[in-house]
Amino acid sequence: MAMLLGKKIGMTQVYNEQGKMIPVTVLQAGPCTVTQVKTPDSDGYAALQLGYDDVKASRILKPAQGHAQKANTTPKRFVREWRLGAKDTPGYAAGDQINVASFAEIKYVDVIGTSKGKGYAGAMKRHGFGGFPGSHGTERKHRASGSIGGYGSDRGHGGNVKKGKRMSGRMGGERVTTKHHQLVSIDEENNLLVVKGAVAGPVGAYVEIRSSRTRSQK
């Protein structure tokens, strides 16, 4: 298990050993500072709190400044927790640096980002609904969602719409985890992780990167 915080740099392509071109996302990951070590005794659960990207002290709240000072580091813009099992030993102390070298043995990673906001989107774009035909008598409802329930639907008589019914609304801007990205290469000099495939969010957005739990790391 390993985790880092980072930033999306952008996408490009590289060739692999077979000479095939593969699409990759370049992530700048770390170096992260451990800002706090949480233990079951003191906090009820075990975790490492990581901070990434320095920020000027005057741009951040006083409590956050004090929190950083405790770990003997500068205030960080992006702070997230790396949750550990109760029996795991943290392996790091507050103030320690973690960099991409900690991913050296890892083959697959999960990347968590915030997707691009799409604004108020219709049911076709938001949920993949089929819409209505373009012709054959269809009028003024080519992209409509269709029926959302009848008189005797699941919420009793009298036309209540079922909770969670998929409709148009605000889309994107939410936390998205993409799993099992093959870790193509690591550049320790520039703190880069190169992962196969696309990662949620715009270029420059903060991401969390952690080793995949479900796929073999061999």
Binding site for another protein (CB under 8 A): 9-10, 12-15, 18-19, 21, 24, 26, 28, 185, 187, 190, 192, 194, 203
Judged by CB, which is closer to another protein: 8, or 76?
Answer: 8
From residue 101, how far is each of 4, 6, 97 by CA, in Å?
11, 14, 11
Which C-beta is closer to another protein: that of 112 or that of 194? 194
Q: Which is nearer to another protein, 153 or 182 (CB)?
A: 182
How many Å apart are CA 148 and CA 57, to the nearest integer? 52
The stretches of the chain forming alpha helices (DSSP H) are: 40-43, 62-70, 123-127
**Whole-number Å distance between alpha carbons of 17 and 119:** 41
CB of 37 to another protein, least distance (A): 31
Residues in the chain: 218
Minimum distance from CB of 193 to another protein (Å)? Answer: 10
Q: Which strands form 32-38's sheet, in the order they lie side by side?
A: 76-84, 46-54, 32-38, 97-98
Nearest residue (CB) to another protein, 9 versus 171: 9
| CB closer to another protein, 39 vs 185 | 185
CB of residue 100 to another protein, shortest distance in Å: 13
**Contact call for residues 183 and 102 (beta carbons, < 8 A):** no
Minimum distance, C-beta of residue 25 to another protein, in the bound complex (Å)? 10
In angstroms, give the least distance from the CB of 12 to another protein. 5
Both structure tokens of 124:
């076709």
